[in-house]
């Protein structure tokens, strides 16, 4: 199915360009209201902290009202928090205004169904078809109303805390939490503090333009140093909208999504709580697959994107999956990727096992993996990847690596990039081969 507006995770781009304009978002809100309205006939809207969120919040509110749909506003709220509130308020949909880990000058719109998961393909296509129709406002007596969920943050904080056992306390643990000046800036520190941890927050002073700027899961260096300086037990880095998480051990070493997934999966297995296989992606490190196999756990791979991970989990009624980027889905706890909840599961395992984060992660040995992002400029990713020279470079690289390596070329689902990933057993070889393939891609842009 070909989508005209929706990408793999909603609609995203540079503010004021293409579809990320107040005019388009107004029409999008109206179209979504026409398609999704009914039943409870109300929609929950949340946003991260970027300055353009105010503008798009108003545009969505106006469009939905014109379609006769009521609006419940949360203010800054993590993406997974909107999924939760959509379910608890029995809304017909949830909408998040966020560009996740992107800089402040980008923004986007993503949707949740009434069940708190991603919209089905046919629903997205129906919204796209409605966008092309003339916008008609319902009669005045049928216009939607807007209200604010006053206790939205408190509700979500309690939900996050409920994701671990009541007899687990984080007392005695010192945790540095980096909220990326994003949607979790008030929530995540409170969750950890109320669970008993000594909390040192950074990235908690949003000004509308500093979201993800040198902080958060995409820039964890400050967190790594702060963990060492504070002699903390661990650090936790979230992204701008709170659906990704990286951790840092007491030595300042970064623990990525693959390692987090391994720690949670093994803990679930040891407690007889793991159901079925674990789902990763084509980018998941080979070391994750091998470490899980030692624990008697099978890893299945999907295309890159938490959407595809979730689809595989739902199809098989499995409970755990994720991506190297830190999207971790604990289906037994929530309906979507949630950085805060995933981080809590790891901290709970630290408490349960009596082992440090460094010790828990050391049981998974990562294979050398190098990722290079090649900026496309005005070039089209699909066209570049079809070029004979690029395809030959990938073939040559795979032949050199043999069975002990992988070469993956894929377009980013959220940015104008081609991602070149190479994995193998020899780090020097992996780095060299990655640059060779990336150079071929760069040299064939605009051809």
Is 86 in contact with 57 (CB distance < 8 Å)? no
Residue 343, both tokens: 């981080």
Longest dimension (CA), the chain: 69
Known catalytic membership, residue 58: no
Q: Which of 266, 274, 284, 286 minimizes the C-alpha distance to 313?
A: 274
Residue 389, both tokens: 């020279």
Q: What angle do CA 98, 103, 105 make, to 5 degrees?
A: 80
Residue 69, both tokens: 């749909």
Dist CA 58 CA 53 (whole Å): 9
- Please name the residues in contact with 32: beta carbons below 8 A apart, sequence gap of 6 or more: 43, 63, 64, 67, 93, 95, 111, 127, 130
CA 147 to chain centre: 28
Q: What angle do CA 13, 14, 20 make, to 5 degrees?
A: 65
Dist CA 78 CA 118 (whole Å): 15
Sign of CA dihedral 129, 3, 240, 266: positive
Q: How many CB atoms lie within 10 A of CB 317?
A: 9
Dist CA 190 CA 205 (whole Å): 15
Dist CA 18 CA 377 (whole Å): 15
Is 346 in contact with 256 (CB distance < 8 Å)? no
Dist CA 418 CA 424 (whole Å): 20
Residue 441, both tokens: 């891609």
Q: Which of 52, 98, 100, 163 is catalytic?
A: 100
Q: How many CB atoms lie within 10 A of CB 250?
A: 17
Residues annotated as catalytic are: 100
């Amino acid at each position: 199915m070909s989508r005209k507006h929706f990408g793999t995770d909603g609609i995203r781009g540079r503010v004021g360009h293409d579809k990320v304009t107040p005019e388009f978002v107004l029409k999008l809100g109206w179209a979504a209201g026409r398609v999704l309205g009914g039943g409870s006939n109300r929609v929950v809207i949340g946003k991260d902290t970027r300055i353009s969120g105010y503008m798009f919040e108003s545009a969505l509110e106006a469009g939905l009202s014109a379609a006769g749909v009521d609006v419940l506003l949360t203010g800054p709220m993590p993406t997974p928090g909107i999924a939760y509130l959509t379910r608890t308020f029995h809304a017909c949909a949830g909408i998040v205004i966020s560009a996740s880990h992107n800089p402040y000058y980008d923004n986007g719109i993503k949707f949740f169904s009434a069940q708190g998961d991603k919209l089905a393909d046919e629903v997205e296509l129906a919204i796209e078809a409605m966008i092309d129709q003339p916008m008609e406002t319902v009669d005045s007596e049928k216009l939607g109303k807007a209200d604010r969920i006053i206790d939205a943050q408190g509700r979500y904080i309690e939900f996050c805390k409920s994701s671990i056992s009541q007899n687990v306390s984080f007392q005695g643990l010192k945790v540095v939490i980096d909220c990326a000046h994003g949607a979790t800036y008030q929530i995540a520190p409170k969750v950890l503090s109320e669970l008993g941890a000594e909390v040192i927050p950074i990235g908690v002073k949003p000004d509308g333009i500093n979201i993800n700027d040198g902080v958060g899961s995409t820039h964890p260096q400050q967190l790594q140093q702060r963990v060492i300086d504070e002699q903390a037990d661990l650090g936790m880095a979230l992204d701008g909208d709170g659906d990704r998480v990286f951790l840092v051990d007491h030595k300042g070493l970064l623990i990525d999504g693959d390692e987090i997934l391994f720690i949670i999966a093994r803990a679930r297995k040891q407690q007889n709580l793991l159901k079925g296989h674990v789902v990763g992606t084509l980018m998941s490190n080979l070391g994750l697959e091998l470490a899980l196999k030692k624990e008697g756990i099978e890893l299945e791979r999907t295309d890159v994107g938490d959407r595809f991970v979730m689809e595989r989990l739902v199809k098989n009624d499995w409970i755990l999956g994720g991506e190297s980027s830190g999207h971790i889905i604990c289906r037994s706890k929530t309906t979507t990727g949630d950085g805060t909840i995933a981080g809590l599961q790891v901290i709970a395992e630290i408490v349960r096992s009596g082992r440090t984060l460094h010790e828990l992660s050391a049981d998974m040995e990562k294979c050398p993996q190098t990722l290079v992002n090649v900026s496309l400029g005005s070039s089209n990713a699909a066209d570049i990847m079809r070029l004979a020279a690029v395809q030959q470079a990938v073939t040559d690289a795979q032949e050199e690596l043999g069975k002990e390596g992988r070469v993956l070329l894929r377009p980013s689902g959220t940015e104008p990039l081609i991602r070149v990933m190479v994995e193998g057993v020899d780090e020097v070889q992996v780095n060299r081969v990655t640059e060779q393939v990336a150079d071929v891609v760069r040299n064939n842009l605009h051809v």
